[in-house]
Amino acid sequence: MSDSNLKSPPFVPSSSSRKLPDFKQSVKLKYVKLGYHYLITHGMYLCLSPLLAIVAAQLSTLSGQNLVDVWDQLKFNFISVILCSTLLVFLSTVYFLTRPRPVYLVDFSCYKPDDLRKCTRQIFMERSQLTGTFTEQSLEFQRKILERSGLGESTYLPEAVLNVPPNPCLAEARKEAEIVMFGAVDQLFEKTSLRPKDIGILIVNCSLFNPTPSLSAMIINHYRLRGNVISYNLGGMGCSAGLISIDLAKDLLQVHPNSYALVISMENITLNWYFGNDRSMLLSNCLFRMGGAAILLSNKRSEGWRSKYRLVHTVRTHKGSDDKCFSCVTQREDSTGRIGVSLSKDLMGVAGDALKTNITTLGPLVLPMSEQLLFFATLVGKKLFNMKIKPYIPDFKLAFEHFCIHAGGRAVLDELEKNLQLSDWHMEPSRMTLYRFGNTSSSSLWYELAYTEAKGRMKRGDRMWQIAFGSGFKCNSAVWKALRTINPDKEKNPWMDEIDQFPVDVPKVSSI
């Protein structure tokens, strides 16, 4: 943020700052065009499909005598047969070389800390008071935020933060990173029966903790991954970095055949706990909690039979060229020199604008034609003929059976439910994840998917939309299709031993 913001009045979320803009007010045509560009890029495959169906239907009507007659005709047109065969082989070769490799999600796992790391809201307030660095006004502010946050009594914090006094240091931060990453990866290897040496691509994302050697190097060292593993460590990219990692893995899997990609999404709390009194920086203490996820992707067609999902689309939106968007989530020092993450009052408006751009681009790729025609007709009438009509907001429930919306906070979930016209059932995985685990940054989407699986809701052919946003400012989406029905009795995820207790009612305000 700019220097002028350092001396701004204490951060108090107003009712207007906690609402997303109404998507019906303005939709920019250029983002619709971008979505149709993505669609037309794959138009060749759409055009070939009905042609092949017609040819197959015609061939099925031929009798044995018809085939004999065709053979007799071909014997007298040998040159034509050679030319047609050559053309067919050439077109087939081009098709198989240029078609994208399928990207399968073989399985994933979410880390569940042990009970010693549990932090009730009362314990949170007691530990905050015992640090001795927070004023009475700051403590009261945190209490009010917690009471309205949607967080429950069983979220997790690392040992260094829960200690009295807290001892955040590099060694403790490494310890937290190892516990989360190794815990998730160990479970993933157990579920998939894969060996560490099988991993060809490794991507780790963690925004605020970037040690040397890197987190990806820690994984390589601990599991003794092979020397030619392609590794990436993504930092500073916010809560949407998990889907950026998926998109990067997808691109790498297009050029590295017969590979496995391991993606690890997490955040580190230990070194990023804020001990000052700037209200805009205290919000992260109230919302962020300990957690992480490991995801195994592959482009091996032999993995299709046991994989859970196939990646259909990824759409990334970046608003960093706008100064207001760029500075709405910023790691900085307060007036006393304490470091924290500052959340601007413009955050909800910026998030809404990025989300609107992202879903406008995604729409042409996923919506049924009936919804697209209604949307496009109203948009043309408004933009080209200056008709006083509101753009038609498509019903995304016709495109997806399941929604995994980043559990960043209760206010964001409320506004998304309203703007996308989703039901309580659609929002349940996000709300219960926020209640049970808090905001676990980029890994929250996977806790939400694990909830859906634990409830036995995921059926073969179901489509699922993951959407997340983070600093920069970014909004990213991933669309998956279920390859098989998920049997919760055979699943091992952090919800399984308590899934019967959910959903629970989360009141608007829950006093501590």
Whether 439 sits among the annotated catalytic residues: the reply is yes
Instruction: For 345-371, write each residue's pLDDT tens digit.
Output: 888 889 888 988 898 889 888 988 877
Q: Centre a 10 Å sphere on the Cβ of residue 266 and count the other Cβ atoms it contains.
A: 28
Band the pLDDT of 78: cuts 50, 70, 90. low
Average of per-residue pLDDT values in the chain = 87
Instruction: Give domain status of residue 222, yes or no.
Output: yes
Catalytic residue among 268, 439, 476, 493: 439
Instruction: Give domain status of residue 365, yes or no.
Output: yes
Q: How far apart are CA 288 and CA 207, in angstroms?
A: 13
The top-scoring range by mean pLDDT among 75-89, 92-106, 220-234 is: 220-234
Residue 88: per-residue pLDDT:
77
Instruction: Give domain status of residue 385, yes or no.
Output: yes
Residue 89: per-residue pLDDT:
77
Catalytic residue among 110, 206, 239, 404: 239
Mean pLDDT along residues 379-407: 82
Whether 426 sits among the annotated catalytic residues: the reply is no
- Name the pTM for this structure: 0.84
Mean pLDDT along residues 115-131: 94
CATH no. for residue 318?
Answer: 3.40.47.10
Instruction: Give domain status of residue 311, yes or no.
Output: yes
Instruction: Give domain status of residue 509, yes or no.
Output: no
| Minimum mean pLDDT range among 127-141, 235-249, 378-392, 452-466 | 378-392
Task: For residue 262, list its beta bridge partners.
Answer: 202, 296
Instruction: Give domain status of residue 48, yes or no.
Output: no
In angstroms, how far is CA 301 from the centroid of its own chain?
A: 24
Burial 7-25 (b: 16+ CB within 10 A, else e): eeeebebeeeebbbbebee
Q: How far apart are CA 146 and CA 428, in angstroms?
A: 20
Residue 364: per-residue pLDDT:
84
Q: Cβ(469)–Cβ(354) under 8 Å?
A: yes
- Residue 410 has which token pair? 């209760």
Is the predicted pLDDT of residue 118 greater than 50, yes or no? yes
How many domains does the structure of the chain reveal? 1
**Residues with Cβ < 8 Å from 43, sequence gap 6 or more?**
none
Please give, one letter per residue, the 3-state secondary structure of 67-130.
HHHHHHHHHCCHHHHHHHHHHHHHHHHHHHHHCCCCCEEEEEEECCCCHHHEECHHHHHHHHHH
Residue 368: per-residue pLDDT:
85
Instruction: For 244-295, write each residue's pLDDT tens digit.
Output: 999 999 999 999 999 999 999 999 999 999 999 999 999 999 999 999 999 9
Whether 239 sits among the annotated catalytic residues: the reply is yes
Instruction: Give domain status of residue 72, yes or no.
Output: no
Catalytic residue among 272, 299, 328, 402: 402
DSSP letters for 456-497: T---TT-EEEEEEEETTTEEEEEEEEESS---GGG--STTTT
Whether 256 sits among the annotated catalytic residues: the reply is no
In which domain, by residue range, is 217 found? 104-501
Closest CA to 293 of 245, 253, 230, 329: 245
Instruction: Give domain status of residue 275, yes or no.
Output: yes
- Backbone φ and ψ for 32, nearest 5 degrees, come out as -65, -45
Q: How far apart are CA 208 and CA 236, in angstroms?
A: 6
Instruction: For 2-57, write each residue's pLDDT tens digit.
Output: 343 333 334 444 444 455 555 545 555 555 555 555 555 555 555 666 666 676 77
Catalytic residue among 318, 328, 358, 426: 318
